[in-house]
Amino acid sequence: MLARHHHPIVAIATAPGRGAVGIVRVSGKDIRPIIDAICGRALAPRQATYLPFRDAQGQVIDQGLAIHFPAPHSYTGEDVLELQAHGGPVVLQILLARCLEAAAAINPATGQAWLAQLRVAQPGEFTERAFLNDKIDLAQAEAIADLIDASTETAARSAARSMSGEFSLAVNTLLEQLIHLRMLVEATLDFPEEDIDFLQKADAQGQLLRLQQTLASVMQRATQGAILREGIKVVIAGQPNAGKSSLLNALAGAELAIVTPIAGTTRDKVTQLIQIGGVPLHVVDTAGLREALDEVEKIGVERAWAEIQSADAVLFLHDLTQQDAINYIADDARISAALALKLPQKTPTIDVWNKSDMATPAALAKAGKGIAISAKTGAGLQALREQLLQVVGWQSAPEGVFMARERHVHALQNVDAQLLRASAQLRSSAPALDLLAEDLRQAQIHLSEITGQFTPDDLLGEIFSRFCIGK
């Protein structure tokens, strides 16, 4: 534990701006002298007490609720004081300064000199202390930030499940199975005369298979949780006047982008966050892909390609009413070839044929495997939404998903790779048991990274620095 983790900390724990209530939070070892200085009395544990908050001269700063959470029964595992005052920014800043002043004024002769080190907390430091004091594990800590940042109800509910420990329980179940299997292999190494017969009698292969099956289930749920957290970036691309802006407006249910019959109306990207079945989608409307007629449009086209290359999915929009136009067909083919060249192989492209309300039956029949829609009437939009979720890998019902991050998915993938190597060793005619043991050990390390049992300090700093101050 770093030296700064022993310092008492204080911060405003509510969002900036005015509100009905604002909270100043203090956490540290035995903060009763600060409580006495500000509240003028001791506080009953975990009971809200209405009283005046006083400055160094005894003048009232504000009146509100004070709650003392003695260690270890607090959010951070340390002594915690919460001062709930009126939510004006000036009042909260005065209370914050008063806490620092009260700590600095404590007489070192009282044996509580550490309180003079009270400082303003860094982003996420309260939650970091909860993790360091074993109140929560790292996956739960991350879920707290994810709950705050959730952009859909489904994402919020999934984050709440992870925060309550559902994801951690799944990981710990895997760890228990893995550790038991490691014990068998290590015992075989310690007593080589038992050799492989010992592992066969203990059904090591069966245990490993069941472990892999459980891992597959956890990976599937974590992958879905990562989609919920990160959202899906969907870029609408195509020639000018194909109806890209109209499609964005139709998906968003609002007039966000300017729509005119003039080709090249959209010069820069327009982004909107929407949700489909609780899954957040960042939909990006881009400039029409063609040879630019002026410098401004050229920049817009370059930005369009940049957005396309970073997309999770691309909607390649075609105009059904132009399907038989020779020049239009040639330009569509040029764009299609460029997409194939510039897009990562894993990025799906959905062919969308717009203006079905204006197209002839013959034109609709030629649309091929794409989805025919009308951005104007809404026809086909539901099929498009369902196809989008399918191509990006969304499968699970919302109630079965817990919130996860890309680092969690990556760790689980590393575990899977190690277990595949271990399985190959077990199935070989002459297993190298020392290599098998190392594969299982590495799998355990990767798995433990999720909950923070084996996590480097620099990763912890990166994770908690993304929290808001006071949390």
- Least confident piece of the model among 221-225, 365-369, 446-450: 365-369
Tokens for 156, please give them: 């919020």
**What are the φ/ψ torsions at residue 184 (nearest 5 degrees)?**
-60, -45
pLDDT tens per residue, range 250-263: 887 755 544 444 44
Q: Is 217 annotated as a binding residue?
A: no
Contact 464, 123 (CB under 8 A): yes
On whether 280 is known to bind a ligand per the annotation, the reply is: no
Sheet order of strands, 79-87 included: 49-54, 60-69, 79-87, 19-28, 9-12, 119-120
**What single letter denotes the amino acid at residue 181?**
L
Share of the chain above pLDDT 70, in %: 87
| H or E element, residue 158 | helix 153-163
**Residue 66 burial (C-beta neighbours within 10 Å; 0-12, 13-18, 19+):** buried
* Average pLDDT score over the chain: 85
For residue 1, pLDDT over 60 is answered with: no
**Could you read off the pLDDT of 142-200 as tens digits, one per residue?**
999 899 888 888 888 889 999 999 999 999 999 999 988 888 887 777 665 555 566 77
How does residue 49 score in pLDDT terms, banded at 50, 70 and 90? very high
* Helices marked H in 191-268: 195-201, 204-230, 244-252
pLDDT for the residue numbered 270 = 80
Q: For residue 449, give every residue at least 6 positions away whose Cβ sits within 8 Å of its Cβ, in sequence order, or none.
A: 407, 411, 455
Residue 423 labeled ligand binder: no
Tokens of 303: 């930005």
135 is in an annotated binding site: yes
C-alpha–C-alpha distance, residues 236 and 241, integer Å: 12
Q: For residue range 220-231, what is the model confidence (pLDDT) as tens digits?
A: 899 888 888 888
* Residue 107 assigned to a binding site: no
Q: Is 25 annotated as a binding residue?
A: yes
Is 17 labelled a binding residue?
A: no
* Domains of the chain from N-terminus onward: 3-134 (3.30.1360.120), 153-227+402-452 (1.20.120.430), 232-311+313-391 (3.40.50.300)
Residue 347 has pLDDT above 80, yes or no: yes
Check whether 266 is labelled as a binding-site residue. yes
Give the separation between CA 71 and CA 47, rounded to whole angstroms: 14
Strand intervals (E) in 239-357: 270-276, 279-285, 313-319, 349-354
Q: Is 233 annotated as a binding residue?
A: no
Structure tokens that stand for 367 in this block: 């649309």
Residue 242 among known ligand-binding residues:
yes
